[in-house]
Amino acid sequence: MCGIVGYIGRQDAAPVVLEGLTRLEHRGYDSAGVAVLGSRGIRVVKQAGRVRELSDVLPKRFAGTTGIGHTRWATHGPATDANAHPHADESGRVAVVHNGIIDNSAALRAELTDAGVTLASDTDTEVLAHLVARSDADTLEGKVRDALRAVVGTYGLAVLHADFPDRIVVARNGSPLVVGVGDKEMYVASDLAAIVRHTTTVAMLDDGEMATVTAAGFTTMRHTDLSSTGKTATEMDIDASAYDAGDHESYMHKEMLEQPVTAQAVLRGRLDERFGTAHLGGLDMDARDLRAVRRVKILGCGSAYYVGQMGAALIEELARIPADAEAASEFRYRDPVIEPDTLYVAVSQSGETIDTLLAVQEVRRKGGRCVGLVNVVGSAIARECDGGIYLHAGPEVAVASTKALTNMFLGFALLALQLGRVRDLSIADGKRLVAGLEKLPGQIEEILAGEDDLVAVAKSLAEARSLFFIGRVRGFPVAREGAQKFKEISYRHAEAYQTSELKHGPLALIDPEVPTVALVPRDELTERNIGALHEIDARQGPLVVITHAEVDLGEIGARRIDVPRNEPELDPILLTIPLQLLAYHAAQHLGHDIDKPRNLAKSVTVE
């Protein structure tokens, strides 16, 4: 959440920083600001609103070859001009941008006020500017170290000081920071997306690390004593175009349509047709370790939690090991019992979600083994885990997760297959599932090709103030994910229910104004599902049914969306794809900013 960009070099910094901020806007988009250090000291321009509105108000003469910028997702204080970053001290000689949360900011704000400082904002970040300014260390690094000694919390931080015009000092604790190396120019950012068009030679700071960045290069050191950590930059194998929306009207659209290709990427090299199994070298577990697993607990947040429920069902079904998923945001607060023969699995696109990271730390602190299903290589969760499966979905920019979620499901399918095949899953069943997985990318493509046919259905759903998503067993987490996607970008109230639970209460809400999206695959529960559809139909509830062509809905008045059949265990992901399209077109019909839904941001790095 929130984005940081910095530049020091030969060009004017403001345009470079602004361009970088537009690339990071999915991280937070309620306010933005830039500070430039030029011959007349530091100048700050910041305001509530989007980055493009900020660029409209930047003064024509805003020269200076060193600058930092920020795009914000409000935590402390509303989205106002005053609360936007950068924050400066009273003299205006220090400016800071910060991601994360300073936990003891209330106490520090009180101390600063008692010392006669006039605070200009409601934020936790502002204290950092004052603390840097008030340090009597004679280097900027020393001043930043002193400030960081006083704070408790998480930060990705970049600091400018008018007395040290040749440098930006950055620091990391819990919020990512990367330094990019150019030709006599350097970049800093909270995310590679901001700088990949300029350089792919980068160094990622570790927690507890600081860096001095000048136009000529960078040096890294520990926060505590400023001793060198000697980090060097490495060349990353990144395709910069993967960060662009190209001809698509939004990133979400691009990312949905990429799924046939990205789904292949997570499967590539991991399927073994001969033995009907999967090989996941990154797990770092041999057959004996895998056989020793007695239980699987999946931890993730939001959509990652829902796909974790799909994964748990797959593992239980294929490997016959008890498995469940839990919201990582709740896990550590109930002082969980950590069992030595349970395999904990953290699932996260960003690898930064703080609730998931803290859940992993809880597991590891108590001696448990936690592996990761993570998209972003080298991210905090990936590093914290004992091993894992990278998702290879490529950069996901839209706030609403689509292609990463699909690859999470496939990652779980691979894990379930491997766990199953070291136990009692037969080679015939293993081969059946390998063949099913190989077919999936093509079937996803088939569903996406039918996009235009779903637009009218999506528009009709968009007109409802409230709707249900229902499914049973394998289909219930799909319903939860469908409702999540719908509410996230259309802002309609969408509630997921087990189909079997409808008659135990929510049926009272069914009427001609409340549509239901029902998941009715051809499986052992089809007839029972159809029974529930009759109950809805009898109360004139509008129905959209995601199903298979073989399913006969009889007289039920429903709009049906057929998906291709695969193995029943793999149905959930094929049922999920039309739900993405429905949410997308409903939100588009309502004229919403699909990539930047209100109140949300990509990668939730605050508790």
Residues that bind ligand F6R (CB under 6 A): 301-304, 348-350, 353, 356, 400-401, 484-485, 488, 603-604
Task: Supply the minimum distance, in Å, between the C-beta of residue 476 and ligand F6R.
Answer: 17
Question: Does the bond joining 86 to the residue before it have cis omega, within 30 degrees of 0?
Answer: yes
The residue annotated as part of the active site, out of 485, 487, 596, 602, is: 602
Instruction: Please identify, using beta-carbon distances, which residue of 85 and 485 lies nearer to ligand F6R.
Output: 485
Secondary element (H or E) of residue 534: helix 526-538
Alpha-carbon gap, residue 107 to 469, rounded angstroms: 46
- Residue 118's CB is within 10 A of a number of other CB atoms, namely 8
Task: Supply the minimum distance, in Å, between the C-beta of residue 362 and ligand F6R.
Answer: 16
Instruction: Please identify, using beta-carbon distances, which residue of 140 and 347 lies nearer to ligand F6R.
Output: 347
Alpha-carbon gap, residue 67 to 56, rounded angstroms: 18
Q: Which amino acid is at 560?
A: R
Secondary element (H or E) of residue 449: helix 427-449
Instruction: Please identify, using beta-carbon distances, which residue of 353 and 566 lies nearer to ligand F6R.
Output: 353
Alpha-carbon gap, residue 502 to 155, rounded angstroms: 45
Angle between helices 475-490 and 571-589 (to 10 degrees): 20
Instruction: Please identify, using beta-carbon distances, which residue of 223 and 403 lies nearer to ligand F6R.
Output: 403
Phi/psi at 465 (5° precision): -80, -25
Contacts of 143 (CB under 8 A, 6+ apart): 132, 133, 135, 137, 161
What is the DSSP secondary-structure string of 157-181?
EEEEETT-TT-EEEEEEBS--EEEE
Residue 244: Cβ-neighbour burial (10 angstroms; 0-12, 13-18, 19+): middle
Torsion of the alpha carbons at 281, 287, 289 and 293, rounded to the nearest 10: 110
147: its two tokens: 């400030």
Three-state SS string over 548-585 comes to CCCCCCCCCCEEEEECCCCCHHHHHHHHHHHHHHHHHH
- Name the residue among 101, 97, 100, 72 with its Cα closest to residue 86: 97
Instruction: Please identify, using beta-carbon distances, which residue of 190 and 603 lies nearer to ligand F6R.
Output: 603
Instruction: Please identify, using beta-carbon distances, which residue of 167 and 392 lies nearer to ligand F6R.
Output: 392
Instruction: Please identify, using beta-carbon distances, which residue of 304 and 525 lies nearer to ligand F6R.
Output: 304
- Residue 213's CB is within 10 A of a number of other CB atoms, namely 26
CB 214 within 8 A of CB 8: yes
Task: Supply the minimum distance, in Å, between the C-beta of residue 597 and ligand F6R.
Answer: 9
Alpha-carbon gap, residue 183 to 214, rounded angstroms: 12
Instruction: Please identify, using beta-carbon distances, which residue of 202 and 604 lies nearer to ligand F6R.
Output: 604
Beta-strand runs (E) in 432-531: 466-471, 493-498, 516-520
CB 233 within 8 A of CB 186: no
The residue annotated as part of the active site, out of 2, 301, 370, 385, is: 2
Task: Supply the minimum distance, in Å, between the C-beta of residue 8 and ligand F6R.
Answer: 30
Closest residue to ligand F6R, judged by C-beta, is: 302
Query: In the sheet that 558-562 helps form, which strands lie side by side, from edge to edge?
Result: 493-498, 466-471, 516-520, 543-547, 558-562
Task: Supply the minimum distance, in Å, between the C-beta of residue 580 and ligand F6R.
Answer: 9
CB 158 within 8 A of CB 97: yes
Task: Supply the minimum distance, in Å, between the C-beta of residue 455 and ligand F6R.
Answer: 21
Task: Supply the minimum distance, in Å, between the C-beta of residue 399 and ligand F6R.
Answer: 6
Task: Supply the minimum distance, in Å, between the C-beta of residue 254 and ligand F6R.
Answer: 15
Could you confirm whether 485 is annotated as catalytic?
no
Three-state SS string over 82-136 comes to CCCCCEECCCCCEEEEEECCECCHHHHHHHHHHCCCCCCCCCCCHHHHHHHHHCC
Could you confirm whether 602 is annotated as catalytic?
yes
Task: Supply the minimum distance, in Å, between the C-beta of residue 604 and ligand F6R.
Answer: 5
Instruction: Please identify, using beta-carbon distances, which residue of 415 and 525 lies nearer to ligand F6R.
Output: 415
Strand-strand pairing, 94-99 and 87-88: antiparallel
Instruction: Please identify, using beta-carbon distances, which residue of 154 and 353 lies nearer to ligand F6R.
Output: 353
Beta bridge partners of 59: none
Task: Supply the minimum distance, in Å, between the C-beta of residue 349 and ligand F6R.
Answer: 3
Task: Supply the minimum distance, in Å, between the C-beta of residue 101 and ligand F6R.
Answer: 17
Alpha-carbon gap, residue 443 to 571, rounded angstroms: 11
Instruction: Please identify, using beta-carbon distances, which residue of 194 and 400 lies nearer to ligand F6R.
Output: 400
Residue 91: Cβ-neighbour burial (10 angstroms; 0-12, 13-18, 19+): exposed
Q: Which residues belong to the active site? A: 2, 602
